[in-house]
Amino acid sequence: MPYHSGMTTSAAERDLRGAAVRVTKQRVAVLDAVRRHPHADADTIIADVRGELGRVSTQAVYDVLHALDEMGLVRRVAPAGSPARYDPRVGDNHHHLVCRRCGRMVDVDCATGAAPCLEPVAAQGFSVTEAEVIFWGYCPDCQSKGPAPAG
């Protein structure tokens, strides 16, 4: 029996059908979770999905996150030294601001326009397909608290 969420077709469900892939309860739940928690890491998503569905394998969540990333419904962001985060905002060219102390991540639109920095002066023969920009700093809450995460 094809999966259907219940009363009404959810946005997540429609987006998955639009991508022409199998619509499973795990996929719907993961996509919903990413949208509920923008920039969450895999652990948070796994916990949220388990809260919704009960037992779900870790592997399934990772598989779905990869699949969603590949089909362009979420964007995987991996700041240096921290686990990957998943961003539901896709299709535009925005970047991220990450707090060095607490890891909080927020979106920023690019200063330079729609396709910022996408043209390095000398590409040295590389064909460039994407520019990834991460701004590092301290969030408002952490500016007063000093640099150490366990301080």
Partner DNA sequence: GCATAAAATGGAATTGTTCCAGTTAACGAA
Partner DNA sequence: TTCGTTAACTGGAACAATTCCATTTTATGC
**Contact, 76 vs 84, CB < 8 A?**
yes
The reply on whether position 151 binds a copy of itself by CB under 8 A is no
10 makes contact with DNA (CB under 7 A): no
Transcribe 6-40 into DSSP letters.
SSS--HHHHHHHHTTS---HHHHHHHHHHHHSTTE
Q: Going residue by residue from 62 to 101, which x/- string records binding to DNA, judged by CB under 7 A?
A: xxx-xx----------x--x-xx-----------------
Do the Cβ atoms of 79 and 53 come closer than 8 Å? no
Residue (33 or 67) nearer to DNA, CB: 67
Given a copy of itself, DNA, none, residue 113, with its beta carbon under 5 to 8 Å by kind, binds none
Side chain identity at 22, as an amino acid letter? Answer: R
85 in Cβ contact with 92 (< 8 Å)? no
What's the rounded Cα separation, in Å, for the pair 67 and 70? 5
Total residues contacting DNA by CB under 7 A comes to 29
Say if residues 30 and 49 touch (Cβ distance below 8 Å): yes
* Chosen residue from 11, 14, 18, 22 binding DNA by CB under 7 A: 22
Give whichever of 43 and 109 is closer to a copy of itself, judged by the CB atom. 109
**Counting contacts by CB under 8 A, is residue 116 touching a copy of itself?**
yes
Which residues form the interface with DNA (CB under 7 A)? 1-3, 17, 21-27, 41-43, 55-60, 62-64, 66-67, 78, 81, 83-84
